[in-house]
Amino acid sequence: MKKIILFSFVLLMASSCVKLEEINIKDAKIENVSIKTMANIGLDLVLTIENANKKNIIIDDFELDIWLGETYLGLIESTGKTTLPPQFNGNFAIPLQVSITNLAALTAIGNNFDSMLDKFEVTGFVKVKAGTFTKKHKVTKTTIKNLLRSL
């Protein structure tokens, strides 16, 4: 009986080991911008993705501080868990909430939200799950496009 329990435990542990393949992000753009208040913006970060993984990848949580040079602008947060299906190829939208604490910085954004991906830098974390595997990716000051390339 002890051997069966030990064998079952070893199988369970082996099955929970997940080797993640690299996710290829070909393009990123911002869509569905909704300005709720002057300091509260909802938007979708739409990524063109090639995902070779055979398991769901869940973007569990993230918080990124936004910077323009040395000026702190606010915070980008996930609005909930987002699941990337296995072996997915195509456009994938991640709903985001942007809270601007420096209202003068709104003039830096203007109407061109896609320029945020190149101009603004972020720091913080992104937490991802695949099976029972969880990884919290620490983000040091980098542009949003460079962050997407590094994930």
Contact (CB, 8 A) for 55 and 131: yes
Contact (CB, 8 A) for 42 and 96: yes
Q: Worst-scoring range by mean pLDDT, 9-13, 76-80, 85-89? A: 9-13
Contact (CB, 8 A) for 128 and 55: no
CA distance 124 to 74: 12
Average pLDDT, the chain: 78
- Pick 146 or 52 by higher pLDDT: 52
How many of the other CB atoms lie within 10 Å of CB of 122? 23
Whole-model pTM: value is: 0.71
Handedness of CA 115, 125, 40, 82 (dihedral sign): positive
Per-residue CA distances from 1 to 5, 15, 50, 143 (Å)? 6, 21, 45, 56
Q: Which CATH code, of 3.60.21, 2.40.230, 3.30.70, 2.60.40, is assigned to 20-150? A: 2.60.40
Share of the chain above pLDDT 90, in %: 15
Q: Name the DSSP class of 22.
A: P
pLDDT band (50, 70, 90) for residue 83: very high
